[in-house]
Amino acid sequence: MEVILKEDVNKLGQRGDVVSVADGYGRNYLLPGKLAIQATAANKAVIEQMKHSAVRRLAKEKVVAEELAHKLEAVELVFERKVGENDHLFGSVTSGDIAHQLEQMGHTIDRRKISLEEPLKSLGEFHVPIKLHREVTSHLKVTVKGEDQPETVQTAAE
């Protein structure tokens, strides 16, 4: 059976591909799950039109992502965290923290696009990649520094 994929399917193909599958797989999984439609001449014409509109949409999204990447190159985020002995942080800086601070600055970015493999748990300067588009990645400068602890005032009884 030939079907046209409406969504990306692992180990089968990308959206818009015309693929041959077993009859049972097509009838029982792909078609009811709305992952594919039967490959007829009319459906192929509709899919071609959808592909062209998707290409135009992706081009627009890429331009917007490139503009945002250019803006983010100049941004530097500074996080202050409590520090113990040997510059050990109490807590960490996560992708959610970075996304929240960017949102406060007026840049709405989903935290899942921030490619932070693990939370930042040490002091220093880091360059965090942000995947804005399939082909556009920006690097954000993030600085983690220790909080200035108010010095305790010792009073001596006289």
Higher pLDDT, 76 or 157: 76
- Pick the closest to residue 121 from 152, 140, 146, 153 (CA basis): 146
- What is the identity of the amino acid at 39? A
As annotated, the residues of the chain forming the CATH 3.10.430.100 domain(s) are 69-146
Contact 43, 4 (CB under 8 A): yes
pLDDT in tens, 65-108: 899 889 888 889 999 888 887 777 888 889 999 999 999 988 88
In CATH, the number for domain 2-61 is 3.40.5.10
Q: Mean pLDDT score of the chain, rounded to an integer?
A: 85
* pLDDT at 6 exceeding the cut of 70: yes
The predicted pLDDT at position 158 comes to: 42
Element (H, E) at 103: helix 95-104
pLDDT in tens, 8-58: 888 898 888 889 999 999 999 999 999 999 988 888 888 788 778 888 988
As annotated, the residues of the chain forming the CATH 3.40.5.10 domain(s) are 2-61
- Pick the closest to residue 15 from 57, 41, 47 (CA basis): 47
pLDDT in tens, 103-148: 998 888 888 889 888 888 888 899 999 988 888 889 999 998 887 6
- Pick the closest to residue 121 from 150, 101, 142, 138 (CA basis): 142
The predicted pLDDT at position 100 comes to: 92
In CATH, the number for domain 69-146 is 3.10.430.100
The predicted pLDDT at position 46 comes to: 81
Extended strands (E) in 36-75: 36-38
Q: Is the pTM of this model over 0.75?
A: no
Element (H, E) at 46: helix 41-73
Contact 107, 72 (CB under 8 A): yes
The predicted pLDDT at position 151 comes to: 46
DSSP 79: E
- Pick the closest to residue 107 from 145, 136, 77 (CA basis): 77
